[in-house]
Amino acid sequence: MKKNLLFLAAFLALPLITCANRAAMPNPGTYKLIVEGFDWGPAVSRLVLSLEQPLEDTKAADFEIFVSRSSSLGEIPEPARNGKRSVVTTYPSDAEGNRSEEGKFLTLVLAVSPNNPIMSSMQYLRMGNRASNVWIDYQVTVLHAKSGLVWNQSNGILQEDLKEFDLSGKFTHQNTTLTYGAFAPKNVTSKAPLIIWLHGGGEGGTDPSIALLGNKAFNYASPEIQVLFGGAYVLAPQTPTFWMDSGQGMTRGQVNDIYNAAVFALIQDFVAKNPGIDPTRIYVGGCSNGGYISLKLIFEHPEYFAAGYISALAFNNEFVTDQMVQKIKNVPIWFVHAKDDMTTKPDETVVPLFDRLKKAGAKNVHFSYYDNVTDVTGLYGGEDFRYNGHWSWVYSHANTARLDLDGKPVMVDGKPVTIMEWMAAQQKKK
């Protein structure tokens, strides 16, 4: 209650400050949000302020930022509704936050961290009988103490990590329509592989930006990963609900889902419309719900995919028959999971399935099994900082998975490799 009163008092004071200084300098008033994807999801990492004339003093300490978060789709928990942001540094820029010596805009670089929901423009909300991530109304008021200037009108949002993605994809199979985001590599001189990412249970809907930014899936289009493949297409299909939807509830493999035929038809259509794709190097992977549907696609079409990369698998081993194991034992697959995953419990999913695959004679199946999911960047505590144990996809997106279940490095041609280096080396026989 005290926090809310202080927040209200700050807002009520802003018009007085603005009026007192309006004669000295007009108030430019508008800002742009720059949203960046992190291991834990999206955050507003920068604000671009419009300027009618240059500010003489732009020290970070002279700015105060008040945030209000709301949504018409559901109620945001009280502690995450409003708060303050900290400015790390400032620099002159253009309208999109690019540095410019004589910029007519000022960019504020904001502090970000994985444990402060005030920083995110996305919220996990329960709507009816399901929950998912949604973009919210993220309102900002910026006060410059020395000039009295206030910026409180939004003039847009820039999702910088998705600038090279086409987010307009839509495909209908029978009565099912799926949206998707796609990336096409540039300057490739031969056919390029296709990396398919299938999102988790919280990223369903009709906005592919959520499927790519709900976690750091856009990173498969990053230069660091693209160079390993010599350039690769990236396809991120999105389900209207969730991949494990049976039409009458959630399946973990005991009954069929309602989407696998449609998403496979989407993949085939995308490949047909992009002749630059190498059909011998099509890779499918996903996390949790997306791990379920990835494995389902491999079960249904083992001859189609060159490899699979699956984290936080949600397909229960008890519903995998011996015949299904035999069908996929020759498909290269790399599993990633954490021991403390309480959502897709490893002893019910990946641990027994991996054992069965190895006993069936699988030669190119690997399993990176982590005690916990920790900060791979080292910026927030490294091994001492723990994410939710379900978030093992962090190690896939960051391309840091490299050890097999026995603790030894996975090898290709006598050299230790990461999960993406391994995948880039996989190719079906022509």
Find the angle CA(174)-CA(273)-CA(201) to the nearest 5 degrees.
55
Which tens digits make up the pLDDT trace of 126-158? 887 788 999 999 999 999 999 999 999 999 999
356 has a pLDDT exceeding 70? yes
The verdict on residue 430 lying in a domain is: no
Q: How confident is the model at residue 5 (pLDDT cuts 50, 70, 90)?
A: very low
Asked if pLDDT for residue 36 goes beyond 90, the answer is yes
Per-residue pLDDT averaged across 322-330, rounded? 98
Are 14 and 125 members of one domain?
A: yes
Let me know whether 148 and 177 are in one domain.
no
**Domain end position, chosen among 159, 190, 219:** 159
Reported as a pLDDT band with limits 50, 70 and 90, residue 430 is: confident
Chain CA centroid to CA 101, Å: 33
**What 3 state SS string does the chain have?**
CHHHHHHHHHHHHHHHHHHHHCCCCCCCCEEEEEEEEECCEEEEEEEEEECCCCCCCCCHHHEEEEEEEECCCCCCCHHHCEEEECEEEEEEECCCCCECCCCCEEEEEECCCCCCHHHCCEEEEEECCEEEEEECEEEEEEEECCCCCEECEEEEEEEHHHCCCEEEEEEEECCEEEEEEEECCCCCCCCEEEEEEECCHHHCCCCHHHHHHCCCHHHHHCHHHHHHHCCCEEEEEECCCCCCECCCCECCCCCCCCCHHHHHHHHHHHHHHCCCEEEEEEEEEEECHHHHHHHHHHHHCCCCCCEEEEECCCCCHHHCCHHHHHHHCCCCEEEEEECCCCCCCHHHCHHHHHHHHHHCCCCCEEEEEECCCECCCCCCCHHHCECCCCCCHHHHHCCCCCECCCCCECEECCEECCHHHHHHCCCCCC
Asked which of 58-67, 101-110, 349-358, 392-401 is least confident by mean pLDDT, the reply is 101-110
Domain with residue 50: its CATH number is: 2.60.40.2180
Average pLDDT over residues 274-280: 98
Task: State whether 389 and 406 are in the same domain.
Answer: yes
Each residue's pLDDT tens digit, 412-429 = 999 999 999 999 999 998
Which of 31, 41, 164 shows the shortest CA–CA distance to 97? 31
Among the residue ranges 6-10, 97-101, 155-159, 286-290, the one predicted with the least confidence is 6-10
Q: Is residue 173 domain-shared with residue 261, that is, in the same domain?
A: yes
**Domain, as residue range, for 173:** 164-424
Domain termination site, one of 141, 159, 177:
159
User: Is pLDDT of 25 > 50?
Assistant: no
- Residue 20 is predicted with a pLDDT of 38
Position 387 in a domain? yes
Residues 337, 221 share a domain: yes
Scored b (16 or more CB within 10 A) or e, 138-152 reads: bebbbbbeebbbbbb
Query: What's the rounded Cα separation, in Å, for the pair 145 and 63?
Result: 6
Domain-embedded: residue 429: no
Least confident of 125-139, 268-282, 299-313: 125-139
What per-residue confidence (pLDDT) applies to 23? 39
Among the residue ranges 16-25, 267-276, 307-316, the one predicted with the least confidence is 16-25
Looking at the fold, whether 290 and 385 belong to one and the same domain comes out as yes
Residue 21: what pLDDT? 40
Given a cut of 90, is residue 13 above it in pLDDT? no
Same domain for 352 and 211? yes
Residues 270 and 415 both lie in one domain: yes
For 173-205, the pLDDT digits (tens) are 999 999 999 999 998 889 999 999 999 999 999
Q: Is residue 65 domain-resident? A: yes
How much is the mean pLDDT over the chain? 93
Could you tell me if 219 and 232 are in contact, meaning their C-beta atoms sit under 8 angstroms apart?
no
Are 385 and 303 in contact, with CB atoms under 8 Å apart? no
Overall number of domains in the chain: 2
* pTM of structure: 0.92
Question: If we measure between CA atoms, which residue out of 364, 296, 298 comes closest to residue 330?
Answer: 364
Both 143 and 178 in one domain: the answer is no
Question: Which pLDDT score, from 0 to 100, does residue 40 have?
Answer: 94
Q: Taking a C-beta distance cutoff of 8 angstroms, is the pair 300, 259 a contact?
A: no
Show the tokens assigned to 134. 């949604």
Whether residue 203 is found in the same domain as residue 285: yes
Q: Are 323 and 346 in contact (CB under 8 A)?
A: no
- Is the backbone of residue 230 left (phi > 0), alpha (psi -120 to 50) or beta? left
Residue 10 counted as domain residue: yes
CA neighbor of 408 nearest in space, from 375, 366, 376, 373: 366
Instruction: Supply the CATH number for residue 292's domain.
Output: 3.40.50.1820
Domain boundary among 125, 159, 193: 159
* 148 and 40 co-located in one domain: yes
Identify the weakest region by mean pLDDT among 119-128, 168-177, 222-231, 399-408.
Answer: 119-128
Residue 103 has pLDDT above 80, yes or no: no
Judge whether 170 and 240 are in contact, CB under 8 Å: no
User: Mean per-residue pLDDT for 52-61?
Assistant: 89
Q: Which of 7-11, 153-157, 230-234 has the lowest mean pLDDT?
A: 7-11
- What confidence tier does 314 reach under pLDDT thresholds 50, 70, 90? very high
One domain, residues 277 and 404: yes
Nearest Cα neighbor of 239 from 271, 268, 200, 287 is 200
- The two tokens of residue 75 are 């109620």
